Amino acid sequence: MKGDIGVIGLAVMGQNLILNMNDHGYKVVAHNRTAEKVDEFLQGPAKGTNIVGAYSLQELVDKLESPRKIMLMVRAGDVVDSFIDKLVPLLDKGDIIIDGGNTNFPDTNRRVAALKEKGIHFIGSGVSGGEEGARFGPSIMPGGSPEAWPFVKPIFQAISAKTENDEPCCDWVGNDGAGHFVKMVHNGIEYGDMQLITEAYQFMKDGLGMTHDEMQSVFIEWNKTELNSYLVEITSDILGYKDTDGEPLVEKILDTAGQKGTGKWTGINALDMGIPLTLITESVFARCLSSLKDQRVEAEELFGKKESIVEGDKQVWIEALRQALLASKIISYAQGFMLMREASNENGWDLNYGNVALMWRGGCIIRSAFLSNIRDAYDIDPELSFLGSDSYFKGILENSMSAWRKVAAKSMDVGIPMPSMTSALTFLDGYTTARLPANLLQAQRDYFGAHTYERVDKPKGEFFHTNWTGKGGDVSSTTYNS
């Protein structure tokens, strides 16, 4: 009997996805560049299963049922292109190549188009959930050649995580690089969620002087509220984890955050598309700032930074902080969905936002109860332009406003950096202000560069230039927006 699917790449993700597929009754053919890893896998974790090995790409292709489905779980970038180049001459028209790595979506756009010309279908799929997700149920976000989806759907939906209603956290996202785009935004949102939690932690630790056991208890309690999520849950575990000397391990970890690029890509895309994705972008910059450790140590000494004590009832502050965190999180998701909406419109992807929320509901790092509410919001209004306008989320934003402002103002007052929580509030203040000071900005642009402006008392699209100093000419600059 031939194999149902081939997987190339036997590192942590590939091995665990293969074992997951095997558990669900699929016969998997496994290949890896370094052939010894095939043997190690077959004699190790795959021993006693139906998984078979292939020591060359020709052997892999020969062992698969038509149309062949070959999934790459290798390092993103050139490695994917190199496998595609080697596979194409061995494949038949209608065969399917799937890239399950963390690929930047323009690469997927390019590969879908190039392979289409050769009669090969290509799927670019985000896979989230790390090692455990891959093994027992990841969130899977596939996009690319729609013709390929019916062949891949049963396998992907079988191995994916399921919601409490047994719905698979995997569905077709859209054409071209839509799957990898949505995975990129997922990762951006993950940056935002993590940053928000760290800001709450610093406020509690430095501002309120709380112990790690106290903070752990707070996160345990928060996890029973609307903040219920994987990241809040693991934060409570981390805060309670003691090093061999009985001290909290988290305080022994160097405060410089790493990043692999997906948050940065999300921010770059937001700038390219003109979407104010302020919270996620602040989260990326917060990681950049954290990496300037030596400079920060010197600057703290230079500025003689004072302790950041927050006075007042601790319990009241903790509840205010919870509300500020929740409200900021709503803004982060609202901005992320604005970005997806713009990308969907620009690329003709026709994204289903409720389905996206469902795909993130289980298996992935940002899984949370909150995503069910997002799904409900898009079920009510599939074209919702701002998540905060949905009645459920609007209610939370309104109820949290006073506590959120209190926390933001206090953080500024005592010097605790909370870039994501404060930028989220600033965004909402801007978004809910009918008249912003951009009129003055337009005047400045026209003053120094004759960039023209529109008037409130004239139809939109009619542009004016004023000779502000009496010294300039009447010629204006060309009017366009980049």
Which residues in this chain contact ligand NBP in the complex, by CB under 6 A?
9-14, 32-34, 37, 73-76, 79, 101-102, 127-128, 130
Contact in structure between 257 and 290 (CB atoms under 8 Å): yes
> Active site includes 251?
no
Contacts of 92 (CB under 8 A, 6+ apart): 66, 67, 68
Amino acid at the residue 468: W
**Options 37, 63, 183, 205, the catalytic residue:** 183
Task: Report the candidate in 20, 164, 175 with the shortest Cα–Cα distance to residue 113.
Answer: 175
In whole angstroms, what is the distance from residue 379 CA to residue 181 CA? 22
Distance of CA 56 to CAs 39, 42, 93, 384, Å? 13, 15, 20, 49
CB-based contacts of 314, cutoff 8 Å, min separation 6:
208, 210
Q: What distance in Å separates the CA atoms of residue 407 and residue 394, rounded to the nearest whole number?
A: 19
Smallest gap from Cβ 340 to ligand NBP, in A, equals 19
Q: How far is the CB of 103 from ligand NBP (least distance, A)?
A: 7
Among 37, 69, 167, 190, the one annotated catalytic: 190
**Tokens 């077709």 — which residue?**
172
Helix, strand or coil, per DSSP, at residue 126: strand
CB of 366 to ligand NBP, least distance (A): 13
CA atoms within 13 A of residue 275's CA, in its CB half-sphere: 28
Instruction: Please give the helix or strand (H or E) that residue 26 lies within, else none.
Output: none
What is the residue type of 432? T
Strand duo 69-72 + 5-8: pairing: parallel
Whose CA is closest to 464, among 452, 447, 448?
452
356 contacts: CB under 8 Å, gap ≥ 6: 141, 173, 182, 337, 340
How does strand 139-144 pair with strand 121-128? Answer: antiparallel
CA dist 456 to 101, 311, 436, 453, 479, Å? 49, 47, 13, 10, 17
Cβ-based nearer residue to ligand NBP, 13 or 396: 13
Beta carbons of 420 and 332 less than 8 angstroms apart: yes
The answer to whether 190 is a known catalytic residue is yes
Is residue 148 within 8 A of residue 71, CB to CB? The reply is no
Coil, strand or helix at 70: strand
**CB nearer ligand NBP, residue 101 or residue 207:** 101
Q: Any idea which residues carry the catalytic annotation?
A: 183, 190
